[in-house]
Structure 1
C-alpha cells in the first residue's frame, strides 16, 4: 500500500504556525480576507512545514495542519450548522455553569481564546474538510502522505450542547449519524484522489477511560460535555469509527491516534494511565494502526499493548513533543525493542507522542527543538534497521 522502509518515521500531524498564519486564520474567521489571500499565506507555510520534515528525514509527511486553528474546530468552516464558540461563550449555554467553570480552571487554557465547534443547526458538508489540503501537498512531494481528520466520537461529543443542539439533534446518537455520513463522504473523496494513509484523531478516548462519568475533567474542549459510563462511551466511539471506515480496508491504511492531552507543557494537568482499559475497544475497531503516546511515563508500560490483536500496527510515540529536553537515540531504540516483544518490526512506525501544534496559537515547542527531536527519531530508525539486518 505504501512504499516505505522498515521502522518508518512519520508525524502525528501538526507543526507550529507562523505569526502570519495565525493572523490569517483570525482574519479569515472574521471574513476580513478571502480564500485566495488565505491560501497563498498557508500554502507557503505548508511548504515550509514540508521542508522541515524533509530536512529531518521524515518518511511519511503531513501538511503540518497549517490551515487549521486547531485539530478539530476547523471543521466549522467546512460544514453548515456549526458555530465556533470560545469556552467563555459556551459558559452561557451549558446547564451546570458552576461545574463548567471548575473544568475551565482545571484545563490550564485561556478560555477566551480557545474555540470549540458547537452544533446550532442541521449539519451539511459545504466543501471538503481536508481533501484540498492533501491535493496541495501531493503536488509538492513524492513522499507518502498521512492525512489527518478529527474522529467521529471527538466531533460528536465536542459539538453537542443540549440548549443549542437539541432542536436539530435530540441526543448525541442522532448527531453521530450525520457526523459519520460527513466523514465517510470525505474519506471516499480522499480515496478517489489517491490518498493512501488516513489518521483519525480521538485523544478524548483517554479522558473517557481514565475518569469516571462525573469525575473532574482534565482534558481539552471535547471532554467538557457530560458523558455516560466509560463502557457506554467507548462502545459508542468504536461503533462510530467502524461505520466511518466500513468498506475502506484494502483501499487505504487507516490509523487512530490516542494520547493524554497536548495543550500544555505542565505534566500535572495532563492525564495518566496505561492503555489496558482501551485495548478491548481497540480490538473491536476496524483500523490498521494505532498511533499512541508512549514516550512519557504517564502512558504506563508498553507491555500493556501485548493484548492488542496481532494484526494491528503501532505508531509508537518515541519523543515527547512538549519538552525542550531532546531524547537520545538509545532511549528511542530501547522503547522500540520493548515493543518488538509484542509486534513484528514491520508493524512498528516511529512518531512523536502527539502533534507539535495542536492549537494554532498554543504550540508546545519551537521549530529548533522539533527538528532535533525528529533527527533523533530518524537516527534511531537507521540504527534499528541495521540491528534487524535491513539498511
Structure 2
C-alpha cells in the first residue's frame, strides 16, 4: 500500500502501543459491567473520566499520537465479546468440558501455570456479526476531547481467529479456523474503513501471538488457551496470518496502518516471557500491506537488531524504546543510543518511538502505574527532542 504521512507530527513521533493503567474505580466498573450489575451509561460515566485522565497524562508527557488507553476494554482482544454477536466469554475451566483431548489440555495448562478458573477467552459459539463496530465509540469520544492525532488499536485478524475458534464448540458453526477467518476479515475490513472515514490517523492491528508461533508454545501466553489443543506448524501459521492481514488491508488508503508484535505483556517476570530475534518473522511482516511494524525492542529478549539489515527501509518501524514492565526508568541517552543503532537500517523519517507494549494490557493486571507510565513516556519525549536536534 502507499505510505501514509501523518500531518502534524514532528520527526521521531512519540506514540503509545495502546493501553494505559486503569484506575481502581474503573476496574470495579468493568467487573460490574461483566456481571450485568451496571448499565452501559453508568459504566461510561466512569470510563469517560478515565479516558480524559489518560489523555491528559499522555499529552503532558509529550506524546504526539495518543490513544484512549483502552480504558473501556477489559483487555486488548476479549473486549470484542461485547461488540461481536456470536461470541461468548468463557473460562478455560469451562472449555475443558468441550476439549477433544481433555487430559492433554489439562497437562498443557499445568505446565504453563495457567489458572484455568481465572483466564477468560472470547469463544465463537454462533455465526459472528457486528452492528456498531469494535472501536467506533472510542474514536467518537476521543475526537471530542483531543486535537492530537489518534491511534486506534484493534485485534488483528489472525489473533482474533486463533484465540476464538475452539474445537468442540466453534466447529459446529465454522468447520475450521479458515472458515471463521472469512467473517473476521470482513468485520475488520469494515471497521478499518469506518475508523478511517471517522478521522482515525493510525490503526494498529495487534498480533502479539505471532512471536509465540515461532518462538514456541512453552510460554504462558494466556490468551492462546483456546488454541492450545491445536498443534501448529509455524510456516503455515505465518502464511495464514500474512494472508488474513492482506485481505483486511487490501486497497485501503488514507490512514496509517500498523501491526504490533510483542513477546507477552502479562507478567513482570522476564524469564517467563518469550525470547528470540525477529529474524523468522520479518519475511512475513514486510509482506503485510501495512505502513509500520510496531515492535518490542527495548528488552534484550528481543534479540539483535542486525536482523533488520536486509529489510532496511522496507517499512516504518514503531521502535519499542522503554520496557513497560519495569519500575526502572530508562534515560534519554539510552533511547538516543538505541535509535542511532536503528538509523543504520531505517531513515530518520521512518522511525516512530513507543514503549515495547501497553502499560495495562489486562485490566485486572496493570503492569505499571499511571505515574510509571507517565515518567516512561516523558523520557521518550525528551529523547525525541534530543534526536530532532541531532537529525532534524
- Pair in the same fold by TM > 0.5: yes
Q: How does 1:81-230 map to 2 (within 5 A)?
A: 81-108=86-113, 110-211=115-216, 215-222=217-224, 224-225=226-227, 226-230=230-234
Equivalent-residue separation in structure 1 for 2:224 and 2:308 (angstroms): 25
> Structure 1 residues 264, 37: closer, same or farther in 2, change over 3 A?
same
**Mapping of residues 356-367 of structure 1, within 5 Å:** 356-367=359-370
Quick check: 2:166–2:226 contact (8 Å CA) kept in 1? no
* Contact 2:12 2:348 survives alignment (8 Å): yes
Q: Is the 8 A contact 2:206 2:261 kept in 1?
A: yes
Shift of 1:13: 0.2
* Rounded Cα–Cα distance in structure 1 between residues aligned with 2:266 and 2:207: 14
Report if aligned partners of 2:114, 2:220 keep a CA contact under 8 Å in 1. Answer: no
TM-score (norm 1): 0.95
Offset of residue 367 of structure 1? 1.5
TM-aligned CA deviation for residue 26 of structure 1 = 1.7
3-state SS, counterpart of residue 325 of structure 2? coil
Residues in 1 aligned to 2:322 and 2:199: alpha-carbon distance in whole angstroms: 30
Q: Kindly tell me: are residues 224 and 78 of structure 1, through their superposed partners in 2, closer, same or farther at Cα, counting changes over 3 Å?
A: closer
2:330 corresponds to 1:343 = no
Alpha-carbon spacing, 1:366–1:103, altered in 2? closer, same or farther (3 Å): farther
Deviation, structure 1 residue 127: 1.9
Matched, 1:42 2:42: no
Is the 8 Å Cα contact of residues 108 and 264 (structure 1) preserved in structure 2? no
Equivalent of residue 333 in structure 2, options 330, 333, 337: 330
State the SS of the aligned residue for 1:351: strand
Residue equivalent to 2:28? 23
Contact 1:210 1:271 in 2 (8 A): yes
CA contact 1:107–1:269 (8 Å) conserved in 2: no
Q: Once the 2 structures are TM-superposed, how far is the Cα of residue 157 of structure 1 from its aligned partner?
A: 0.3
| 1:25-72 Cα shifts (integer Å, max 9, x gaps) | 122122221111111110110001001101111010000000100100
Do the aligned residues in 1 keep the contact of 2:313 with 2:350 (CA within 8 Å)? no
The runs of 5 or more residues in structure 2 that have no matched partner are none
CA RMSD in angstroms, aligned pairs only: 1.4
User: What is the SS of the residue equivalent to 1:274?
Assistant: coil
Residue 251 (structure 2) pairs with residue 247 (structure 1): yes
Question: CA–CA distance in 2 between the matches of 1:95 and 1:298?
Answer: 35
Q: Secondary structure at the match of 1:139?
A: helix
Cα distance, 1:109 vs. partner? 5.0
1:328 is displaced (CA, Å) by 1.3
Deviations 1:176-198 (A, max 9, x none): 00000111111111111111210
Question: 2:241 — aligned with what?
Answer: 237
Q: Does 1:78 align with 2:80?
A: no
Secondary structure in 1 matching 2:214: helix
Contact 1:303 1:338 (8 Å CA) reproduced: no
SS at match of 1:198: strand
- What is the CA–CA distance in structure 2 between the aligned matches of 1:201 and 1:300, rounded to whole Å? 20
CA distance in 1, matches of 2:213, 2:158: 11
Number of matched pairs: 385
CA contact (8 A) 2:219 2:273 kept: no
User: For 2:64, what is the secondary structure of its paired residue?
Assistant: coil
Residue by residue, what CA displacement relative to the aligned partner does 1:110-141 show, whole Å, maximum 9, x if unpaired?
43233110000000113211011011011111
Gaps in structure 1 of 5+ consecutive residues: none
Map of 1:289 onto structure 2: 292
Any idea what SS the aligned residue of 1:83 has? strand
For 1:263 and 1:166, the matched residues in 2 are separated by: 29
Q: In 2, are the aligned partners of 1:73 and 1:117 still within 8 Å (CA)?
A: yes
What SS is found at the alignment partner of 2:361? Answer: coil
Whether 1:318 and 2:321 are equivalent positions in the alignment is: yes
Distance 1:126 1:103, change over 3 A: farther
Write the deviation string for residues 121-180 of structure 1: whole angstroms up to 9, x where unpaired.
000113211011011011111100100100000010000001011110000000000000
Q: Identify the range of structure 1 (96-105 vs 12-21) with the bigger mean alpha-carbon deviation.
A: 96-105
Residue 358 of structure 2 is matched in structure 1 by 355
Structure 1 residue 224: deviation in Å? 4.7
